[in-house]
Amino acid sequence: MYSSRTNPVKGDALTSSTRPNRVPAVLVLADGRVFRGYSFGAARTTFGEAVFTTAMTGYQETMTDPSYHRQIVVATAPQIGNTGWNDEDSESYDERIWVAGLVIRDLAHRVSNWRAQRTLTAEMEAQDVVGIQGVDTRALVRHLRDHGAMGAGIFIGDQATAPVEKLVAEVAAQPSMAGADLSAEVSTDVVYEVPAQGEQKYTIVAYDLGIKSATPNNFAKRGIRSIVVPANTPFEELAQYHPDGVFFSNGPGDPATADKMVEVARKVIEAKIPLFGICFGNQILGRALGLGTFKLKFGHRGINVPVINKVTGKIDITSQNHGFALETPAGESFETDFGPARVTHVCLNDQTVEGVALDNGMAFSVQYHPESAAGPHDASPLFDQFIALMDESAK
C-alpha cells in the first residue's frame, strides 16, 4: 500500500502543514516558459508531461488514475485541497498517486469535507509526490492550449534558483510521451478477482492497462465477476477463465506501442467473444479494426467533455483523460478484417473520434470513462450495453 488507512481524524490532521518561510518552487516548461510559486508535498525534483484538467472536483480520483502516469497535472479549478483526502475515493487498486506532480493556484490549508481523513498535503508527503502552489494557472493553461502539452519539471528550494537554461536542458532530456509504452508499468503484476455482488450473471476478463477501481466495481454491482489480468497477457491464457466477455481498460502512453494488445483484440474478435473497451481500450480496438492513432495537441482531460452518439443522436457529458486519439476514417462506416464497422461517437469540441463498433455488435468501445470517477453518470449505461451484448451472445 502506498497510503496507510486510518480512522477519521480531527484537528491538526485536517489542517495542512506549511514549511517555514514558504519554500520557493518553479515549474519549467520545455519551451523555456517559467512559472514560479511555492512548494507543497514532497520537496524534490520531478519531471513529466505538463497537461491540464478542466475538472472542478475529483482531484483525488484524478491523482490516483494510472492514466496520469508520468504527467504533471495542472488544475484549472482555482482552489485545490478543500475536500482533503479519504480512504474510499482512490482509483488505483493500491491507492497509489500516479501523477508526477501537481500544479495549483491556491492550496486550501483547512479541510471542510465531512469525509476527509487527512489533508491533500499530508497524503502527497506520505507518497513522495511533488506539488507547486501559487502559480498563475490561467496563464499556464492558456500557454498549454496554444503550444500543446509538453515536457516539464518542478524544481524545489535551491534548485528553483538555478539558471533557467540549465533547468530547461534537464526538462528537455526526459523521454517524450509520444512513443512511450507505459501500460505495463502501471498494470497489476498478478491476476486478481473482483467478485459479483449478489447473483453472478457472467464472468469477464478485464485487461488492466491502467484500470480504475471503479470499473470492476461497476461490473460487480451488475452481477459481473471480473478476472483482472496484467497488460499483454496472451489471448491463449484467457481460456482457463471461461470468459463471457473481455474488457480493455483505460491506461497511459502511446497506443501506437500497444502491438501485443492489438493482437489480443483481434483474437478476441475472431473467437466471437464480446469485447468492450474504454479510453486506451478504444484506441486498441480502433487499431485492431485498421485505424491509426495520433497525439492530440493538448488532449482531453476533465469531467465536462460533450460527446454525441452518432447512432442515437444523444449527447453525453463525459469524463475523459487522454492525449492520443484515433484517426478519423474516410466515412462514418469503414471496412475491417472482421466486417463493416462505424464511428459511433464524436467529440463535439474538436470532432475527434470518441467511439467505434463492429456493425455485428460483437465489439465496441468509447474514448471516455463511463465509471464516472470522478465525473458525470451520463455514460454509465455503457456497462449495461456490454451486458446486453453478453446476453445476446449467450443465446
Binding residue positions:
67, 251, 253, 280, 283, 321, 323-324
Q: What is the dihedral of CA 138, 143, 148, 150, to 10 degrees?
A: -90
Residue pair 149/177 in contact by the 8 Å Cβ criterion: yes
From the annotation, which residues make up the binding site for L-glutamine?
A: 67, 251, 253, 280, 283, 321, 323-324
Catalytic pick from 69, 300, 345, 369? 369
Buried b (16+ CB within 10 A) or exposed e, 16-39: beeeeeeebbbbbbbeebebebbb
- From the list 235, 296, 287, the residue with the least C-alpha distance to 258 is 287
Alpha-carbon separation of residue 69 from 179, 199, 250, 253 (angstroms): 14, 36, 12, 8
Q: For residues 247 and 214, is the Cβ–Cβ distance under 8 A?
A: no
Q: Which of 61, 91, 95, 371 is catalytic?
A: 371
- 369 tagged catalytic: yes
Q: Are 69 and 252 in contact (CB under 8 A)?
A: yes
Of 319, 285, 323, the closest CA to residue 302 belongs to 319
d(CA 20, CA 34): 24
143 is catalytic: no
Q: Which of 279, 300, 345, 354 is catalytic?
A: 279
Strand pairing category for 150-156 and 46-53: antiparallel
* 76's grid cell: 484549472
Alpha-carbon distances, residue 129 vs 174, 235, 242 (angstroms): 18, 36, 40
Q: Is residue 279 flagged as an active site residue? A: yes
Q: Alpha-carbon distance 227 to 20, whole Å? A: 49
Label each residue of 145-194 as H, E or C.
Answer: HHHCCEEEEEEEHHHHHCCHHHHHHHHHCCCCCCCCCCHHHHCCCCCEEE
CA–CA distance, 231 with 90 (Å, rounded to integer): 21
What residues are labeled active site? 279, 369, 371
